[in-house]
Amino acid sequence: MSRATVELDFFGMEKANSCKSQFQKFIDRRRSFRGIQGAISKMNPELIKSVIASGSTNRNPVDWRKSFSVPSSPKEDRSTSLPSLPLLNPALRSIPSEESPETAPLTIFYNGTVSVINVPRDKAESIFKLAVEGSSKNIESVDSSKAANPSSDQQNLLEARNGDLPIARRKSLQRFLEKRKERLTSPYAW
């Protein structure tokens, strides 16, 4: 099956991540957009903008075959030098023709807005680094004295999101909720 998408090794499945428990691996896997959203939402917006601005003119080559590893929880080893978040490359969507080959689109969900920016790899890494440091600082300060309870720690880190699969809504209810919205916004609503 030839596809334009490059699928990244999300959570180092091929890497020797044997120190991680099955549960940890599962939890890591479940992170996706919402995980990124959670991490970045704790960052200073000005910081994000400045990093992006400084990166967009850089022309470093990008190697998409290199796998990223997932930042571990604060209690685990944090000596990984590449604390980057996984990237889903939305290469299937239409890419503007003027995009330079050395950069790639980075989609950021922040504070109710979605931005798609073309950045080279090193700038993308910087953003991720900041995100992880920003989010882990928050968690460490709150949980540092908490007794070890792996489930709730993972839960906090995950922000108890359901990962990739949103809870599906029944068709009939979906239609009703849409019709209700229309009724409320129609000019004749009373």
79 or 166: whose CB is closer to other proteins? 166
Hunting for tokens 């720690």 — which residue is that? 153
Q: Does residue 162 interact with other proteins by CB under 8 A?
A: yes
Q: Does residue 64 interact with other proteins by CB under 8 A?
A: no
- Quote the CA–CA distance of 77 and 83 in Å, as a whole number: 11
Q: Does residue 111 interact with other proteins by CB under 8 A?
A: no
- Quote the CA–CA distance of 9 and 69 in Å, as a whole number: 8
- Quote the CA–CA distance of 25 and 148 in Å, as a whole number: 18
CB 70 within 8 A of CB 85: yes
Q: Tell which one of 79, 141, 172, 185 touches other proteins (CB under 8 A).
A: 172
Both tokens assigned to 157: 């880190």
Hunting for tokens 């996984």 — which residue is that? 86
26 or 64: whose CB is closer to other proteins? 26
Q: Does residue 115 interact with other proteins by CB under 8 A?
A: no
Q: Does residue 165 interact with other proteins by CB under 8 A?
A: yes
Binding mask 118-157 for other proteins (x = CB under 8 A): ---------------------------------xx-xx--
Q: Does residue 94 interact with other proteins by CB under 8 A?
A: yes
Residue 153, helix vs strand vs coil: helix
Distance between first and last Cα of the chain: 54
The residues of the shown chain that bind other proteins, judged by CB under 8 A, are 1, 5, 22-23, 26-27, 29-30, 32, 88, 90, 92-94, 107, 151-152, 154-155, 158-177, 180-181, 183, 190
